A and B are shown apart, each in its own frame.
Chain A
Amino acid sequence: MTPPPFQSPHAKANVAGTSPETSATPSVNSAPSTELSIWWVGSTDSLLHREFVRWIESPDSPRRPESTWKLTIADEATPSLPRLTGHATDTRGSIIGIVIWTVPENGISDLLKRIANVCRIKPGYRHITAGLVSPAEQRLLTEVGVTAHVQHAGEWPRCAAVLTCQK
Chain B
Amino acid sequence: MLASTSACIWLIDANGSLVYLSPEMLAWLGVDENVPETIAAAITPDPIMWTGTKPDRGHLTRRLHIPATDPINGQSSGHPAHRPETRVVTAHFVKLAPIAKDSDESESPGVPLVLGCLGEFVADADVPWTRWFGEQGVRESAKLDEQISKFRAQQKRQATMLIAGTSSTSRQFRARVELACRIRCHLSLNGPLGCGAAELASMIHHASAPGEALVCLDASLMDSELLEAYASPVIAEIRENSDVTGTLCLDRLDEMPTDGQTRLSEWLETWPRRLRLIGIRHDEATSSNSMIEPLTDLMTVFPITIPSLSARRDDLELIASGLVRSARLSRETLDLLRSYPWPGQWEELTSAIRFANDMAPGDRIGREHLPLAIRSYRTSQHVSAHVVQDGNELTIGPRPPSPRDFKLESLDATLREYEDSLIAQAMEAADGNKAEAARRLGISRARLLRKLSGDS
A34 to B277, alpha carbons, bound, how many Å? 38
Contact of A148 with B by CB under 8 A = yes
B138 pairs with A113, CB closer than 8 A: no
Q: Interface size (A, Cβ < 8 Å)?
A: 49
Cross-chain contact B139 with A154 (CB below 8 angstroms): no
Contacts of B371 in A (CB 8 A): 88-89
- Interface 1/0s, chain A 109-120, versus B by CB < 8 A? 110110010001
User: For window 145-163 of chain B, which residues contact chain A by CB distance below 8 Å?
Assistant: 146-148, 150-151, 154
- Knowing A90-B343, A112-B148, A158-B226, the reply to whether A139 touches B351 (Cβ < 8 A) is no
Decide yes or no whether A147 CB sits under 8 A from chain B.
Answer: yes
Which of B23-31, B91-99, B212-220 lines the interface with chain A?
A: B212-220
CB distance from A2 to the nearest CB of B (A): 20
Q: Are A149 and B63 in contact (CB under 8 A)?
A: no
Given A109-B143, A142-B215, are A137 and B138 also a contact pair (CB < 8 Å)? yes
Cβ–Cβ contact A109 & B216, under 8 A: no
Q: Are B230 and A142 in contact (CB under 8 A)?
A: yes
**Does chain A have a CB within 8 A of B129?**
yes
Residues of B within 8 A of A154 (CB): 63, 65, 86, 88
The 8 A CB mask of B118-155 against A (1 = contact, 0 = none) is 00000010010100110011111001101110110010
Interface check B320, CB cutoff 8 A = no
**A54-82 vs B: 1/0 string, CB under 8 Å?**
00000110000000000000000000000
Which of A4-12, A19-27, A40-48 has 4 or more CB atoms under 8 Å from chain B?
Answer: A40-48
**Interface class of chain B by DSSP:** helix
In the complex, whether A140 has a CB less than 8 A from a CB of chain B is yes
Distance in angstroms from B55 CB to nearest chain A CB is 8
Q: Is B175 an interface residue (CB 8 A)?
A: no
Partner-binding segment picked from B231-239, B291-299, B328-336: B231-239
Q: Is the CB of A112 within 8 A of B146?
A: no
Which parts of B265-295 form the interface with A (CB within 8 Å)? 284
Chain A residues in 8 Å Cβ range of B317: none
Q: Considering the chains assembled together, what is the distance between the CA atoms of A151 and B122 in angstroms? A: 13
Contact check, A139 vs B225: say whether CB atoms are below 8 A apart: no
Write the nearest CB–CB distance from A167 to chain B, whole angstroms.
8
Q: Is the CB of A135 within 8 A of B237?
A: yes
Cβ–Cβ contact A136 & B351, under 8 A: no
A106-B139, A123-B347, A147-B221 given; A116·B151 CB < 8 A: yes
Task: For B47, list chain A residues within 8 Å (CB).
Answer: 45
Q: Are A153 and B138 in contact (CB-based, < 8 A)? A: no
Can you list 12 pairs linking A and B with CB atoms under 8 Å apart? A86-B373, A90-B348, A90-B373, A91-B344, A92-B193, A109-B146, A136-B233, A137-B138, A140-B148, A143-B151, A143-B216, A152-B63
Given contacts A107-B143, A149-B230, 10 further A-B contacts (CB under 8 A): A87-B344, A89-B344, A90-B343, A92-B284, A106-B140, A137-B144, A139-B213, A147-B221, A148-B221, A154-B86
